[in-house]
Amino acid sequence: MDVIGFPETCGPLNAREIEVTNTSVDVLLEKLACGEWTAMDVTTAFYKRNIVSHQLVDCLTEIFVDRALA
């Protein structure tokens, strides 16, 4: 079963979060540097995508969302 596209279709991520998590690191850094995206935007997008991944393949041992957002 191919689950590569699952995070885009499962619901928890909005369009901007999908864009953030599909963006290359160099573009992501540019958008952070110019203020188009905030650190909170990026962190939230990636933690949501990681939670979805964890539900599929049980890949995380500890999840500290509250610490990431503090």
Q: Which of 6, 32, 3 is nearest to 48 (CA)?
A: 6
Instruction: Kindly list the domain boundaries of the chain, sorted by start residue.
Output: 6-69
Q: What is the pTM for the complete model shown? A: 0.82
Helix count and strand count (H, E) for the chain? 5, 0
- For residue 7, pLDDT over 90 is answered with no
How does pLDDT run across 19-61, given as a tens digit for each residue? 999 999 999 999 999 999 999 999 999 999 988 888 888 888 8
**Per-residue DSSP letter, 25:** H
pLDDT at 32: 98
pLDDT at 5: 79
